[in-house]
Structures are given as structure tokens and as C-alpha cells.
Amino acid sequence: MNTSLPPRVVADALWLLAARSRGGQHWVNNASCNIESIDIAGLPQPVSLLEGSTWQETYVSSPRSTWLRYSRQEMLRQLSPALAIAARLASCTIFGPLSALLNGSKLDQAAIVGNHLISTNLYPDWDTLDIAMVTENLLTSYQQRPLMMRNICPAVNPGLASALTESGWQMLPSRMIYLCDPRQDSVWKHNHVKQDVRLLANADMETLSLDSLQTHDIPTLRHLFRQLFIDKHSYLNPDFSPAFFELCLESQFLELHALRWQDRLVGVLGLYCHPESGWITTPLIGYDTSLPKELGLYRRLMALLLQKAKEKQLKLHYSSGASQFKRARGGVPQLEYTAIYSAHLPAHQRRNIQIFSKLLLNCAPPLLKRADKI
């Protein structure tokens, strides 16, 4: 491995090397996809390929889980048990036809470009020539599959979003995300940010950086992540493997930080730093959910995220979820899209994609904006 390359490039290459030979499950237990690669602007990028997904398949590898399973699960989770039973039956009239359209479109078997199997992929701002070239190469390699790219937001990558549109890719709304720039003084004037920073500075808890974390900490770090993202939220979130945590410790694929309280680890934060795009995000965060809320573990972790973004002079991609929490800490809502290319597919398959796309374009934006205000 050429160590003169930027750390982000080296870490991504190590991820890709193992994923190509061992599959997505080497890094994410519930991602049963194969991983291949394609060059974009002179660097190899992953292409995830799924043949068929079960009900446990994570949304980072399965469009079906992204648009149907996760949405249905979130809807039911917010209802009382009695209402959930009725809603589960009623939802079949909505999700049944959508599932049939997905079957006909084969979107769940799409070749997903640049997919590192994390909640938020960050990309360089590839231009129209880069996208035109990679589209042509993808059509040669994946003639039978729709082409897809997750996590496209004009506010994050304006050039990339334009390049995809100009090259014939269609933008389908996928989620509401939150963005902020910690380099701006206005972010630090929010009352919640001030309170969180004071809480993080409290001497009752220690903040640990990568140098203080060891291989023997991996089971605890993984348990903290799973407590929040898998056990509390959804089994459709990516379930990172022990090998993934080891990769982060060795290569900083994610820059790990932790909270220690009363001589034990109680929180973990994984930063995906992408200086090439000017952004930072956190695909991995977790804490001991059995501890009292008064400890403010999530608040401390988010304050640490803001501080690290400011130190690195990067804009912060808050990802999705916890809308009011993130808005109160400088997060500005933006629609994020999934880009799809289908011009090479048979007419009946394109027709299913067009109908599915029309439904999403008409229904998803108002629903996502309404959820942002809850």
C-alpha cells in the first residue's frame, strides 16, 4: 500500500481490498452483498451487488430496506401496540403494491456505486466528465442491473448532483438530513450547544482518543454501538462486525473516540473524515442506554462531534434522525436523494422504475418535511 497517499484514500483502499475478497458481511454482519470496484477519477470505488435480500438486510445494501422495510418499521414503532396491529394490516395495502413495483424494477439488485456500507457516504465533487465516463464503464459491466448512487445532496456536492442529472441519472428522495458549519460562530451561540460543551468539559467523565483505545476494547465498543443503533432503533441499521472495529483502530477508516466513566467505557463515536469533499460525518455512535439520562451521554458525544469538526475545519453532515435535537444545534434540513440510471434496461423494467419513482417524488418530500417538524 502506498503510504504517501492521503489517509482517507489508504483507509478506503484497505476496506475495499477485504470487501472484494470476503463480501460485505466481512464489515457489516447484515449486508449480504458482494463488492466489486470501478475507477472514478483515477481511484477505485466500491460497487455493492445484492442478489436477494431477507427481512434482516441492512438499508445500506438494500434499496428495499431503505424505502419499504425501514419506513414501515419506523411507522409502526411510533404507534401503541394496539394501533400497531391495525396499522400493520393496513400497511399491506400501501407497501404491497410498492413491493411489487420493486420486484418488477429489480432496484434491489442495483449496482450501487461508491457504497462503503455506512449510513452516509461522502464523495469528491466528481464532475460531468467523471460521471459520464463511469456511467459508460458501469453499463459495460452491469448491463442487466439498474445503476445507483446513495447519499446525493446538492447542498453537500453541488457539482456531483448536477453531473449526475446531466448524465441522465434520476434523483429520488430518500431522507431528510441536517447540515451545519462549525467554523461559523453562530453555531456555538445556540443555547443547547453551550450546555452540551459545558457538559462534555465536566471532569466526571473522560474523553478517550484513538491512541487510548486497544483491541481488547472492541467487544465493549461494539456493544455500545449495538445498544443504540440495533437494539434501541432498528436491526436494519448496519451491524458493524468486530473486524470493522479492528479496521478503524488500525487504519482510522473511522476515527474512534470514546467516553469513560467510573473506569468503564460508556460511549463511542466514529468519525468519517473526508477532507477531499470538505465534510465530516459520524456513521457510528453508541452509548450505554441502561445508564441514567441525566448523564447526557448522547449530548456529550454530539458536542465532541462538533468540536472535532471545528478542529479539522470541516463542515458537519449530521446525517438523519433526531430532527429537533439537531436543529437546536445548528442543523439545517436538506433533502437527500438516491441517484438511479435505468436507460439501458428493458422497457417493462424501466416502466416499473418510472411508476415507483413518480410515487416517491410525489409522496416522499412532503412526508419527510412533515417528519422534520415533529
Q: What is the CATH number of the domain that holds 202?
A: 3.40.630.30
In a domain, 189, yes or no: yes
Last residue of a domain, one of 332, 349, 364: 332
In a domain, 2, yes or no: no
Question: Structure pTM?
Answer: 0.93
What average pLDDT does range 300-316 have in this prediction?
Answer: 97
Please list, in sequence order, all residues whose beta carbon lies within 8 angstroms of the beta carbon of residue 262, skipping any fewer than 6 positions away.
none
Greater model confidence, 73 or 326: 326
SS (H, E, C) 234-267: CCCCCCECHHHHHHHHHHCCCEEEEEEECCEEEE
What are the strands of the beta sheet with 43-49, ordered from one edge?
A: 34-40, 43-49, 111-113, 147-152, 332-341, 170-180, 315-317, 279-287, 264-274, 255-261, 206-208
44 and 156 both lie in a single domain: yes
What average pLDDT does range 173-177 have in this prediction?
Answer: 91
Side-chain half-sphere CA neighbours of 331 within 13 A: 27
320 and 345 both lie in a single domain: no
137 and 232 both lie in a single domain: no
170 and 89 both lie in a single domain: yes
217 and 164 both lie in a single domain: no
**Would you state the pLDDT for residue 301?**
97
Per-residue pLDDT reduced to its tens digit, 113-157: 999 999 999 999 999 999 999 999 999 999 999 999 999 999 999
Strands 147-152, 111-113: pairing kind? parallel
218 and 301 both lie in a single domain: yes
**CA distances (Å), 23 to each of 46, 97, 251, in order?**
11, 31, 19
213 and 243 both lie in a single domain: yes
In a domain, 309, yes or no: yes
DSSP-derived 3-state class of residue 113 = strand
28 and 90 both lie in a single domain: yes
What average pLDDT does range 321-340 have in this prediction?
Answer: 94
**Would you state the pLDDT for residue 33?**
98
127 and 91 both lie in a single domain: yes
What range defines the domain where residue 14 resides? 7-176+336-372
pLDDT category at 26 given cuts 50, 70, 90 is very high
Per-residue pLDDT reduced to its tens digit, 215-235: 999 999 999 999 999 999 999
Instruction: Cell numbers for 30, please give them.
Output: 447484515
Instruction: Cell numbers for 305, please give them.
Output: 462531534
What average pLDDT does range 89-105 have in this prediction?
Answer: 71
In a domain, 220, yes or no: yes
**Would you state the pLDDT for residue 127?**
95
In a domain, 18, yes or no: yes
Mean pLDDT of the residues in the chain: 91
154 and 252 both lie in a single domain: no
Instruction: Cell numbers for 351, please give them.
Output: 416502466
- Segment (H or E) for 285: strand 279-287
Q: What is the DSSP letter of 65?
A: I
Q: What is the DSSP letter of 171?
A: E
90 has a pLDDT exceeding 50: no
Q: Cβ(34)–Cβ(49) under 8 Å?
A: yes
Q: What is the DSSP letter of 55?
A: T
Per-residue pLDDT reduced to its tens digit, 334-350: 999 999 999 999 999 99
Q: Cβ(117)–Cβ(28) under 8 Å?
A: yes
How many residues are listed for the chain in this entry? 374
Instruction: Cell numbers for 42, please give them.
Output: 483515477
In a domain, 143, yes or no: yes
**Would you state the pLDDT for residue 76?**
47
**CA distances (Å), 85 to each of 54, 71, 95, in order?**
22, 16, 15
**CA distances (Å), 102 to each of 63, 136, 343, 350, 354, in order?**
9, 24, 17, 11, 11
Number of domains the chain is built from: 2
150 and 238 both lie in a single domain: no
pLDDT category at 59 given cuts 50, 70, 90 is very high
In a domain, 296, yes or no: yes
Instruction: Cell numbers for 355, please give them.
Output: 411508476
Q: How far is CA 127 from the centre of its chain?
A: 22
187 and 252 both lie in a single domain: yes
159 has a pLDDT exceeding 90: yes
As a whole number of angstroms, the distance between CA 179 and CA 194 comes to 18
